Amino acid sequence: MPFFRAALIALLTLAGSYTLFETHAVLVGPELVIDSPQNGTTTADGFVAVTGHVARVVAFSIDGKTILPDKNGSFSETLVLPRGGSILTLRAADRFGHTVTKSRTIFAR
């Protein structure tokens, strides 16, 4: 009987751990970190490098263009901007439909 009780406790512990592991992704959602550019950056030539990383995503885009991050979640994309102010919109979505949207305002001379 003690073996059965220990096995049952071990099984319930494993089931609980697995449940916590799976619900973590549902509760946390996608992660989006923009390393550059900083908000309000001015570029003299109209080119801007957008870099950063994502985690727990199935879809990622910059201004509606799908971007494929590398296996570590890092991304780097060079954009050509028209003269004046532009708002870059970055959007990441996870498999549960949660989204994170961040934007940067960039000025091109």
Domain 30-108 part of CATH 3.30.70.1350: no
Domain spans of the chain?
Answer: 30-108
Q: Is the pLDDT of residue 84 over 70?
A: yes
- With CA atoms as reference, report the closest residue to 34 among 1, 60, 9, 3: 60
Residue 6 confidence (pLDDT): 78
Residue 10 confidence (pLDDT): 75
Q: Is 68 helix (H, G, I), strand (E, B) or coil?
A: coil
Q: Using CA of residue 7, residue 12, residue 15, residue 16, what is the dihedral sign?
A: negative
Two structure tokens written together for 27: 């509760």
CA distance 72 to 89: 22
Within 10 A of 69 (CB to CB), how many other CB atoms are there? 16
Note the pLDDT tens digit of each residue in 51-64: 999 999 999 999 99
Of the chain, the percentage scoring pLDDT greater than 90 comes to 74
Q: Is the pLDDT of residue 92 over 80?
A: yes
Q: Is the pLDDT of residue 45 over 70?
A: yes
CA distance 1 to 70: 52
Average pLDDT, the chain: 90
Q: Is the pLDDT of residue 40 over 90?
A: yes
Q: Is the pLDDT of residue 18 over 90?
A: no
Q: SS3 helix, strand, coil % of the chain, rounded to 5?
A: 25, 45, 30
